[in-house]
Structure 1
Amino acid sequence: MIVQTLKDFLFIALELTILFIGISFLISLLQCFIPFEKLEKKLAGKNKIIAAFGAVLFAFITPFCSCSTIPVVVNMLKRKLPFGIVMIFLFSSPVLDPTIITIMGVILGWKVAIIYTVVTTFFSIVIGFALESFGFEKYVKNVIMSGYDEKGKRFNIKEAFKDTVSLIKSVFPYLLIGAAIGSIINGLVPTEWISNTFGSDHWWLIPLAAVLGIPLYIRLSSMIPISQILILKGMALGPVMAMMISSAGASLPEVILLKSIFKQQLVITFVIAVITMSTFAGFIFYLI
């Protein structure tokens, strides 16, 4: 049993590492063709729909975890970008990662990856504009942070390699954690128990999974292999996706960091919004 669990761990870790390095390197090369300055002008433009999708695109092409998103958000606020557009970026950046979505497509299926992308994009835009319309901008603290300035890069294979190495260093521990948890679940947790407990049609499992995902701080890179094993073991897709989105979208460390730039009212609303987004997304996958 232990030998098989170790084999599963090595296989999952190797598979994810190869996928992650290859896709990350390609994305890093492609970023040199992205006109960041023009994109920022679109974010500040009068056309809110274009600006909203621009914010999602910006979130997609700058793959950050929830914590490293905060300095970018502060600088966007400092540059006087519309509050709703900044919130759209804040919600979509941790959950829309091109590398992870590609791995999701390979591991969980492209139908799941496409639905995941559409659902998280939709709810990020809706929540961002809702917070702006309800006047939550008044709950932003006067915080100034510098040091982040994303500009277009020149096509440089060495720089792309450096970026890939830097990214894999930050993500690799979480990838290994996810592979380890996934292999342990696969080898030691009985299939019947997972299937009977979490594979039923009980609707309350979805909001419960969404709430439990936040204190877990499971990054998407860790959650992909865990999700694969849980689904193979019989866990319903709805709770799995709800937990995945909430853990990536509002981790406990991120919430603590947000308290430094947002007042309590906005922090609480942010957490509730992520749980709501995760729950609705879970129900969508449940119905599909």
Structure 2
Amino acid sequence: MSDFTSLSQSALFNSMQFFIIVFSELVLLFILISMLVSWLQLKIPKARVQALLSGKSGYMLAAGLGAITPFCSCSTLPMMVGLLRAKAAFGPVMTFLFTSPLLNPFLIAMLWVIFGLKLLLIYSLSVLGVAILSGMLLQVFQFQRFITLPQASTCCGSNNAMLTLHPEKTWSLKGLLQQAIKETRSFLPHITLGVAVGAVIHGYVPSSLLAGLSNSNPWWLIPAAALSGIMLYVRASTMLPLAATLVAKGVSLGTVMALTIGGAGASLPEMIILKRIFQWPLMIAFVLVVLGTAIMTGFSVQLLLSTGAGV
């Protein structure tokens, strides 16, 4: 009984610690990123943003922007909202949303060091290919009609109208901060719920959940791992050190990559926050794209690399 009580207290402590740290981090990131995006909107004309993130070159630029921004899936959202407000093309913005949590300099370095160059290339090409193609298809089928932007910072009929219309007269750090806080407030209930779900999972779901299947590695394990990742709140940079341990226990590289992409690309907390912006058709399409990326990458790694490669 004492062991059970000790484990329960440890799980509760881990959950509370996770909630406090991640909630504080996300709120701070939302405010800072919203301020940065608002400042960029004042400095860069909307026509310039539209020109940069449009056409075929816009997808490559969006993918590149995603690859150099070290955001997790949740903290990518205010940047996405800012790009949409600046009238950037919808398809490239979605490419940015898919790419940002899955490719960044830190992640690339960790993949190279832990698993080697070959796996890094397979991973990067899979993520970039699916992100760009998915962004194009979502724009072709006009999924932008399923976007609902928050009302807190609209530039028409709000207190911030003059900030957008006359930036040279009204720009100030205080004004940017006030606008960012309003933006963040509209997401706060979703952030709280999302992080709470992630905290419970973090504290009470054992990291060795998939290790029990390590001996058989059935074909359905990769899709199951991708789906399991979505139910967790796992950053890719956090998952990769654990991934080396799972591989050492016998879990296949493909399974570990599927779990990593599922958790980093579309975690349950992120989807709760994202529901503030996406209507159900776009939300379903988003989840399917991340699942497809995770499963395709997992099977590609499984076929092209042996279980122990690079470890």
TM-score, normalised to structure 2's length?
A: 0.62
What is the CA-CA distance between 1:37 and the residue it aligns to?
6.1
Change (3 A) 1:60 1:264: same
What is the CA-CA distance between 1:235 and the residue it aligns to?
1.1
1:283 pairs, out of 289, 299, 304, with 299
| Unaligned residue ranges in structure 2 (runs of 5+) | 1-42, 154-159, 161-197, 305-311
Q: d(CA) in 1 for partners of 2:54 and 2:278?
A: 26
What is the CA-CA distance between 1:221 and the residue it aligns to?
1.8
Moved segments of 4+, more than 2 Å: 40-49, 142-147, 196-202
Question: Residues 32-71 of structure 1: matches in 2 within 5 Å?
Answer: 41=48, 44-45=51-52, 48-71=55-78
2:133 pairs with 1:132 = no
2:83 pairs, out of 72, 76, 81, with 76
Q: d(CA) in 1 for partners of 2:104 and 2:240?
A: 12
Q: How many residue pairs end up in the alignment? A: 213
SS in 2 for 1:103: helix
Q: Give the CA RMSD over aligned residues.
A: 2.9
Match of 1:203 in 2: 219
Which structure: larger Rg? 2
What is the CA-CA distance between 1:140 and the residue it aligns to?
0.4
2:283 pairs, out of 245, 267, 276, with 267
The answer (yes or no) to whether the contact 1:42–1:51 under 8 Å persists in 2 is no
Deviation per residue, 1:193-242 (Å, 9 max, x gap): 94x82354522111111101001111112111111011112111111111
What is the CA-CA distance between 1:42 and the residue it aligns to?
7.3
Q: d(CA) in 1 for partners of 2:81 and 2:234?
A: 24
What is the CA-CA distance between 1:130 and the residue it aligns to?
1.0
What is the CA-CA distance between 1:43 and the residue it aligns to?
6.5
Question: Residues 1-288 of structure 1: matches in 2 within 5 Å?
Answer: 41=48, 44-45=51-52, 48-143=55-150, 194=211, 197-200=213-216, 202-288=218-304
The answer (yes or no) to whether the contact 1:75–1:145 under 8 Å persists in 2 is no
The answer (yes or no) to whether the contact 1:78–1:144 under 8 Å persists in 2 is no
Q: d(CA) in 2 for partners of 1:198 and 1:63?
A: 31
Could you tell me which amino acid in structure 2 is paired with residue 88 of structure 1?
T
TM-score, normalised to structure 1's length?
A: 0.67
Q: d(CA) in 1 for partners of 2:280 and 2:53?
A: 30
| Unaligned residue ranges in structure 1 (runs of 5+) | 1-35, 148-173
What is the CA-CA distance between 1:265 and the residue it aligns to?
1.6
Q: d(CA) in 1 for partners of 2:120 and 2:53?
A: 31
Q: d(CA) in 2 for partners of 1:140 and 1:249?
A: 19
Q: d(CA) in 1 for partners of 2:225 and 2:278?
A: 26
What is the CA-CA distance between 1:82 and the residue it aligns to?
0.6
SS in 2 for 1:76: helix
Could you tell me which amino acid in structure 2 is paired with residue 275 of structure 1?
L
Q: d(CA) in 2 for partners of 1:129 and 1:47?
A: 11
What is the CA-CA distance between 1:144 and the residue it aligns to?
5.1
Change (3 A) 1:243 1:217: same
What is the CA-CA distance between 1:45 and the residue it aligns to?
4.1
SS in 1 for 2:114: helix
SS in 2 for 1:44: helix
The answer (yes or no) to whether the contact 2:126–2:297 under 8 Å persists in 1 is yes
Change (3 A) 1:37 1:101: farther
Q: d(CA) in 1 for partners of 2:152 and 2:109?
A: 32
Could you tell me which amino acid in structure 2 is paired with residue 251 of structure 1?
S
SS in 1 for 2:70: coil
